Amino acid sequence: MKILMLAPEPFFQPRGTPISVYFRLKTLSELGHQTDLITYPLGEDVDFSGLKIHRIPNLLRAKKIKIGPSWIKIPYDFLMFWKAFFKLARGGCDLIFSHEEAALPGTVLGKIWRVPHLYDMHSSLPQQLENFDFSRSALLKSIFLWIERFILKNSQAVIVICQDLRETVKKEGAGSKSVLIENFLDFPGPNYSARDVEARRRELVPGGEKVVLYTGNFEPYQGISLLLQAVAGVSSGAVFLLVGGSSAENQDMAKRAAALGIGERIILVDRVPPSEVPLYIRLADVLVSPRLSGTNTPLKIYSFLKSGKPVVATRLWTHTQVLNDEISVLVDPTAEGLAQGISFALFNEEARRRAQAAKSLAEREYTPSRYKEKIKDSLAMARVNFEKGR
């Protein structure tokens, strides 16, 4: 098919939705489709067969667009609509594939050009306002809720990335046209040898301590503050490796750790390419996700499960829609609970049994072939439902 994709974010950057967009594009290419991607002016190009990237002009001269809702997205999304409009006017397409809030213009364009629309729902639009503390306006939330309902009603298929979003779609009466596609694919990267892993570990931890690893951004909802508070409650034979902050964020984090008296136990590594993350996962003894809010499953969880390393996570719906006590160490979202869970994962044989159970589950459920089949199903559903509605 000839597909027009709308992605309202910097692409490519190694963070949530852009990572998901990357694997959608990669899979569409492998399936033989031709995709025109319309996206923001920021980000790095990627090279897939059949893919053409069209960027809107950077009229506001933005150098960074933060994660979550922001006012700067409004004019950029407006520009995306018109770029897509004229692109369709020149050549048309067989299907429109829209991510996040771009599903609103995507739905409208689908109606104008009478082509199926596939909505890739990475999060609930009204929930984003609360999760990122963007606005507490009841009016704005009601507007976002209306937009979401309009999109769900008028899209021919909806991809959801976690069970929570599937439940949201069901409540709005669109469950029959939803496909659950969890973001469990990993980036291709170097095949690190055991020697590579051990060498990097010695560089970071010359004293030979156990390593507790956090990877990801340093947004407040991730719970880094909780993790720092938990450090004192864990044996001094363990250090905490935090990978993913910017240089400025790491400087701030170092100051916070020093103020808590744990500076010597915190190791900070600037943001690395996604292909390097497996190196850090392999050198770690325990993997931790201290997230405090949100309902989407963190992307890192799937990589953690595949690793065969003990996973410690807060006992919140963001985690428990995938994790349970048989494959992970779930803890109360408190400093004491997190410290106890990390200690258990570091020194108890049961934690390693759970890690192997998690790896077996991942090898069975989270495979590239399964992902590809689900993408095919969502495309087919969009076309079938479109023909039914004509």
pLDDT in tens, 354-381: 999 999 999 999 999 999 999 999 999 9
Pull the structure tokens for residue 354: 């759970």
Give the pLDDT confidence score for residue 72 in this predicted structure.
86
- Residues whose CB falls within 8 Å of the CB of residue 380, separated by 6 or more in sequence, listed in order: none
Q: Are 274 and 299 in contact (CB under 8 A)?
A: no
CA gap 317, 293 in Å, rounded: 9
The pLDDT tens digits of the residues spanning 192-244 come to 999 999 999 999 999 999 999 999 999 899 999 999 999 999 998 999 999 99
Give start and end residues of each alpha helix (H) in the chain.
16-30, 73-91, 103-113, 125-131, 138-154, 163-171, 194-204, 224-230, 247-259, 277-283, 300-307, 317-320, 335-347, 349-365, 368-389
34 with 4: CB under 8 angstroms?
Answer: no
Q: Are 149 and 126 in contact (CB under 8 A)?
A: no
Tell me the two tokens of residue 226: 């909780």
Give φ, ψ of 267 to 5 degrees: -115, 125
Query: Among residues 269, 238, 239, 272, which one has the least CA distance to residue 253?
Result: 269
Rounded-to-integer distance, Cα 121 and Cα 130, Å: 17
The number of beta carbons lying within 10 Å of the beta carbon of residue 229 is: 18
Q: Dihedrals φ, ψ of 127, to 5°?
A: -65, -30
**Residue ranges of the chain with pLDDT lower than 50?**
none
31-63 pLDDT tens trace: 999 999 999 999 999 999 999 999 999 988 888
Taken in order of first residue, the domains within the chain and their CATH numbers are: 2-184+368-389 (3.40.50.2000), 194-365 (3.40.50.2000)
